[in-house]
Amino acid sequence: VTLDADGNITDYDITEQTLSVFRNIRYIIEDAGSKWENIIDVQVYLTNMKKDFPVFNRLYAEHFAGVHACRTTVEIGALPTPIAVELKVIATI
C-alpha cells in the first residue's frame, strides 16, 4: 500500500491484499478448530468496487470453490486501516 502525506491510499495491489486476507482467515479458522469448508457466511467490504471487484471475484471463486457460503459484497468509503479489502467470515466449528 502506498500512502500520501495525509495517510490516504494512493496505490495498492488488490490481488496481494485479497490473498493476504484469505491466508489470515484460514489461519484464524483453523486455529479455532474449524476448517475452510465450514465457512457459512462471508461479508466483503471493498473501497473501490468498480476497479477491484473483477479481480476479487476471480480470486474468491478460485479459493472458495466447494464452499457453500452466503456472500454479501459492498463498497464502502474507507476502512479503519489503509487497506482496500476486508472480510467478515462466520464458520461453524
Q: What Rg do the C-alpha atoms of the chain give, in angstroms? A: 14
Instruction: Name the class of domain 2-91.
Output: alpha beta
pLDDT of residue 1: 66
What is the value of pTM for the model shown? Answer: 0.88
Q: Give the pLDDT confidence of 49-81 residue by residue, as tens digits.
A: 999 999 999 999 999 999 999 999 999 998 888
**Do the strands 85-91 and 39-46 form a parallel or antiparallel pair, or are they unpaired?**
antiparallel
> Is the pLDDT assigned to residue 27 strictly greater than 90?
yes
